[in-house]
Structure 1
């Protein structure tokens, strides 16, 4: 079976707790989104937890739309993933490390379409090939949030 995930990792000079706090706050998602599609949170921006639902205003070229997601994986300060109606997942995994003796975190972002309703449609649309560049940009923007 073909792997139905693509991942990108980056070491960020911040603690897993600090990074997780940003990831678990949907009001901050537009701050680090590297695709340019996430615009802002809709409604209440409470901290995410397992089963939490949240909605975002999105933009893809001239198309504006809303997407509702639910947190489907959650381990405080270690892992968070959400999925929308298509059931594919955006996952962030955090692993504590050090850089020059200072706290740091290896952050891995994964686009996982193994759980998708129609995985072949995702492949035909080219998402697995396009998303790694956006994910690299996302992790770069996330890193920039913690620069001194």
Structure 2
């Protein structure tokens, strides 16, 4: 595994489509975010994401900021990913397995021009912790 690809998985006892539907709804991102950085969905976002859709978030990581994302991968019920200005991709994969769905979340900065700065700033390690927490929140949201 590359230092610029952080990936974690969790089996959640829920239907793949139900999990996908949460991730495909940008209004639910603050609810599922385990990093604590996603504060609110911006006005004007689509109600449901699709390939090429753009959506904005109010963020906070040391300071408040706004970010726009573009959906760059979309396979209904199976995979969704978005990228923002810096080029790294947040990807979710949903694989039906015995007992539920294997959900894999990835932070992919392999094609980012300033990836060495991301690594030196501790983003891979920080993002791994956020991914683990996000998967736990998705589990709570669907199995509570």
TM-score bracket, shorter-length normalisation: over 0.9
Give deviations 1:22-48, integer Å, cap 9, x for gaps: 000000000110000001110123210
**Is the alpha carbon distance of 1:139 and 1:80 closer, same or farther for their aligned partners in structure 2, counting shifts above 3 Å?**
same
Q: Distance in 1 between matches of 2:49 and 2:122?
A: 29
What is the TM-score with the length of structure 1 in the denominator? 0.92
Maintained 8 Å contact 2:34/2:132: yes
Query: 1:83 — aligned with what?
Result: 83
Distance 2:95 2:107 in 1: 18
Structure 2 gaps, min length 5: none
Distance 1:30 1:98 in 2: 29
Q: How many residues align?
A: 143
Displacement of 1:65 after TM fit?
Answer: 0.8
- Aligned-pair CA distance for 1:121: 1.5
Which residue of 2 is the match for residue 123 of structure 1?
A: 119
Structure 1 segments, 4+ long, off by >3 Å, are none
Name the residue aligned to 2:71. 71
TM-score (norm 2): 0.94
Report the CA distance between 1:3 and its aligned residue. 5.0
Quote how far apart the aligned CAs of 1:139 are.
Answer: 0.3
Give the RMSD, CA atoms, in angstroms. Answer: 1.4
Aligned match of 1:93: 93
Counterparts of 1:92 and 1:115 in 2: how far apart (Å)?
A: 18
